[in-house]
Amino acid sequence: MSRRSDPRTYDLDRLREDVLAEHGGEVDDSIPQLASADPDFCALALALPDGTVRSSVHADVRFSVQSAVKPFLFALALLDTQGEALDRIGIEPTGEAFDAIKLESGTGRPPNPMVNAGALLTAALVSGDDVAARDARILAGLSAFAGRALEVDEHVARDEHLLGDRNHALAHLMRAEGALEVSADDAVAVYARACAVLVDVEALAVMGATLALGGRNPVTGEQVVPPDVARDVVSVMATCGVYDGSGRWMRSVGIPAKSSVSGAIVMAVPGRLGAAVVSPPLDEYGTSVRGHAASRRLSDDLGLHVFGDPEDGLGAPVSTG
């Protein structure tokens, strides 16, 4: 039987140095703030059930959460609609790009909450009578997941709104199909601000851990969402979180995850821990090249693959004693 490493002593700085040797991928240029990101930036963090957060160097560097916000928008929508969101949004993988101008055939619903159409709708389903109220609800909810007060980068939010032509197209299409009840511009405005929330890799790891631990934040002890909501969100992360690369991700990494164009990846290992890695250069699926490599190493070294062979020492619970 192989012996896995202990996440409480695992050398994250060594892993970071190893994956820095990866030089593939391209930095996203959809907005100026992403295009100007340092391609050599890389940081990692783990959040454990006892509230311990471990991280590499540069873990305090903030970045916009971008699409890594989608699982948390889904969670808030499920909570605020008392599960009605499950009837409004599909949960099947698409095999399409994250911003494909496509809805479910026959229903007009977004295919799942992890693509842009789904995230536009989940953001619109969060409680609030107008844009400002939904913004405030989302920021408070994300802060509860992170266990600290978060804030919005107003410049990123403005450019996400102004330059998000495909998001505007998706919102108008959903309005035409009757899936979206608020105005298209309001939906895009709320989603743009959610994507512009600033996190660092430690905050993102705690957010992942909160989902992994049945909705309970391991740092604050707050039950942010009920266990069934966390379960539903992590399930969809496993099948849809890395877009049309989700199958390859689950085979090689085996951890429910959500990627983003800022190069961040948030991971939730059910019942065990949360993890996050960020590095801006992306592969053809929109996933961080170094992030994928680091996640695969973490999965192998810590035995995190959810389908790992128990006889090989994988999949055993993390001790918090």
Check residue 100 and give its pLDDT: 78
Alpha-carbon gap, residue 56 to 201, rounded angstroms: 9
Check residue 98 and give its pLDDT: 82
> How much of the chain is helix, strand and coil, in % rounded to 5?
45, 10, 45
Measured between its terminal Cα atoms, the distance across the chain in Å is: 23
The sign of the dihedral angle between the CA atoms of 187, 188, 190, 195 is: positive
Check residue 102 and give its pLDDT: 84
Residues lower than pLDDT 70 in the chain: 1-3, 309-321
DSSP state of 66: G
**Annotated binding-site positions for substrate:** 67, 116, 160, 167, 191, 243, 261
**Annotated binding-site positions:** 67, 116, 160, 167, 191, 243, 261
Residue 270 CA from chain centroid, whole number: 15
For 31-54, write each residue's pLDDT tens digit: 999 999 999 999 999 999 999 999
Contacts of 9 (CB under 8 A, 6+ apart): none
In the block, residue with structure tokens 């709708």: 121
For 269-287, write each residue's pLDDT tens digit: 999 999 999 999 999 989 9
H runs (alpha helix) in the chain: 12-19, 32-35, 70-80, 85-88, 116-125, 131-146, 154-163, 165-177, 184-195, 201-212, 227-240, 246-252, 289-302
Alpha-carbon gap, residue 64 to 215, rounded angstroms: 23
Please, what are the domains in the chain?
Answer: 12-307 (3.40.710.10)
Cβ-in-10-Å burial (0-12, 13-18, 19+) of 211 comes to buried
Check residue 4 and give its pLDDT: 85
Check residue 320 and give its pLDDT: 40
